[in-house]
Amino acid sequence: MPLNFIFSTFVASFFKVVMTDAQLIVTHFCIPEPVTKVAALGEGFINDTFLVETAGSRRYILQRKNKTVFPNVPGMMDNIARITEHIRSKGQETIQLISSEDGKWFYLDNEGEYWACCLFIENSVSYDCANSPGLIRSGGMGVGQFQSLLTDFTGTLEETLPGFHNIRYRFEQFTEAVENDAAGRLGGCSGADCENLEEGNAAWGEGPAEDPGVRELKQLVDEVWRRKPVMMDFYRLIENGDIPKRISHNDTKLSNFLFRKDGSVLCAIDLDTVMQSSVLYDYGDAIRSYSNICKEDEKDTEKVKMDPERFTAFTEGYLSEARFLNETEKEQLVFSALYITYEQYLRFLMDYINGDTYYKIRYPTHNLVRARAQLALLKSMEAHYNLMQQTVKTILTNF
C-alpha cells in the first residue's frame, strides 16, 4: 500500500475521532442557541478548530488547544480574556470568549484535553495569500493597531510559551535534535559535533556512503549554523533591553488577522501567543508571511521570493500605526524579518529531524518542504537587505 495512502487514511480517522468529541464538548459551553452543526475549520498547525452553527443567527468557534505545545492553557486563556477586555474597553472589535458551564474560559474534558470557545466574527474575511497592495497595507495597519492598543495594558501576562522566539533557546533545542537524530533522517547516527562548529559547519562524523537526502539535510543544518553569529547579535539587543519588551502577538501571519469585505483590517485572531516580548517579532513574522509571493510550503523553491513592493506596502501600513518604536527598534525592523524567517526555517527543519512531533503535516516530507521554502525566502531577503533598509528609512523620513 503506498505510504501516502496509509498516511492520509490515518489523518482522516484521527479527525473523525476529534469531530465526535467536538459535538459533545460544545454542549459544555454557554451557547444560548441550539447547536445545529459542528464542522472542522481551517488549517491551523497547532490546535484543532471547529465552526459551530446554531438555530439562531450567531455562530461560534470551538478549539481543542494543543496541550503539548501550550504547557499552561488556563494561564493562556486568562491572558486572552484580559487583553480582549482591554481592547474592547477602547471600543475596538476583538474576540469574544464564551465561558464554560462552570464559569471558566476553557473546558477540561475527561481525557485531559482543553477546549475553548468564542463567537465567530461575522462579515469578515481571512486570507492565506496576500495579493493586493491595499490588503497588505491594511494588514500592516492591523499589526500596528493591535500593538498600539496594548501599549497601556498594565498587567503582567503569563509567558504562554517560554522561549518562543528566543534564538539562544532554539539553538539548544536544535543542537539536541541534530545530535539525537531521533528519526534517523540524518543517517541514523549523525555524529555531528555541534558544540565545536568551525565556520558554521558541524563536523559531520564519517558515515557509510550517504544518500542524497541525507546529504541535503546536512547542508540544510549547516545553513542554520552559518548564520548563528548574526542572529545572536540581534537577540542580544533583546536580552540587554535595547529592544524593549512590549505586549505583542507573536504569530502575525496573514491568516491570523480578519479583514472586512472592503479590505480594511478588522482584528487580530489566534491570540494564544500574546505575551510580553518584542514587537519586532510581530513585524518580522508578518513580513515573512506577507512579502512572500508563494505559499509557506511552496515545493518549487525557485519561485519563492521576497517581493519588495509587498514589503513596502506592509511597512507603510505598519509604521503609520506603530508610533511608539524607539530608535533601536526602528533600526532593527529589517533584520527582524530575517531573524523570524530564519527562526521559522530552523523550527521546520528541527521538526523534520525530530520526526514531525510539533507541526501538523499533510504528507511525510511536509516539514522538509516548508524548511526549504523558508530558506529560499531568507536568501531572497538577504539579497534585498540594502533595498529594504533604504525603504524603511524613506518611509520614516516621510512621516
Residues that bind Mg ion (CB under 5 A): 251, 270, 272
Answer for the pair 246, 275: CB distance below 8 angstroms, yes or no.
Answer: no
Q: With respect to ligand GN1, which residue has the nearer C-beta, 187 or 284?
A: 284
Q: How many Cβ atoms from other residues are within 10 Å of residue 383's Cβ?
A: 11
Q: Which is nearer to Mg ion, 270 or 296 (CB)?
A: 270
Instruction: Report how far residue 312's alpha carbon sits from residue 265's, in angstroms, rounded to the nearest whole number.
Output: 17
For ligand GN1, the binding residue among 23, 28, 45, 51 (CB under 6 A) is 45
- Residues numbered 70-129 forming contacts with ligand GN1, rule: CB under 6 A: none
Closest to ligand GN1 by CB, 46 or 353: 46
Q: Which of 138, 147, 190, 273 binds ligand GN1 (CB under 6 A)?
A: 273
Q: Which is nearer to Mg ion, 181 or 272 (CB)?
A: 272
Interface region with ligand GN1, contact rule CB under 6 A, candidates 33-41, 83-91, 240-248, 249-257: 249-257
Residue from 21, 48, 270, 321 that binds ligand GN1 (CB under 6 A)? Answer: 270
At its nearest, how many Å lie between ligand GN1 and the CB of residue 60?
19
Report the nearest approach of ligand GN1 to the CB of residue 371 (Å): 12
Nearer to ligand GN1, 31 or 117 (CB): 117
- How many whole angstroms separate alpha carbon 255 and alpha carbon 120? 15
- Residue 344 interface partner, choices ligand GN1, Mg ion, none, CB cut-off 5-8 Å depending on type: ligand GN1
Cβ 113 to ligand GN1 shortest distance, Å? 17
Q: How far is the CB of 206 from ligand GN1 (least distance, A)?
A: 36
Interaction of residue 253 with ligand GN1, rule CB under 6 A: yes
**Stretch binding ligand GN1 (CB under 6 A), from 71-79, 250-258, 303-311, 375-383:** 250-258
DSSP collapsed to 3 states, the chain: CCHHHHHHHHHHHHHHHHHHHHHHHHHHECCCCCEEEEEECCCCCCCEEEEEEECCCCCEEEEEECCCCCCCHHHHHHHHHHHHHHHHHCCCCCCCEECECCCCCCEECCCCCEEEEEECCCCCECCCCCCCHHHHHHHHHHHHHHHHHCCCCCCCCCCCCCCCCCHHHHHHHHHHHHHHCCCCCCCCCCCCCCCCCECCECCCCCCCCCCHHHHHHHHHHHHHHHCHHHHHHHHHHHHCCCCCCEEECCCCCHHHEEECCCCCEEEECCHHHCEEECHHHHHHHHHHHHCECCCCCCCCCCCCCECHHHHHHHHHHHHHHCCCCCHHHHHHHHHHHHHHHHHHHHHHHHHHHHCCCCCCCCCCCHHHHHHHHHHHHHHHHHHCHHHHHHHHHHHHHHC
CB of 296 to ligand GN1, least distance (A): 6
Residues 248, 344, 354, 391: which binds ligand GN1 (CB under 6 A)?
344
Considering the rule CB under 6 A, would residue 44 count as an interface residue with ligand GN1? Answer: yes
Nearer to Mg ion, 64 or 185 (CB): 64
The binder of ligand GN1 chosen from 63, 100, 256, 380 (CB under 6 A)? 256
| 296: partner contacted, choices Mg ion, ligand GN1, none (Cβ within 5-8 A by kind) | ligand GN1
- Nearest alpha carbon to residue 382 among 345, 329, 328, 353: 345
Smaller CB distance to Mg ion: residue 249 or 384? 249
248 binds ligand GN1 (CB under 6 A): no
In the bound complex, which residue of the shown chain has the CB atom lying closest to Mg ion? 270
Closest CA to 23 of 59, 50, 48, 42: 50
Least Å distance, CB 160 to Mg ion, is: 10
Residue nearest to ligand GN1 (CB): 45
Residues at the contact surface with ligand GN1, assessed by CB under 6 A? 44-46, 69, 251, 253, 256, 270, 273, 296, 344
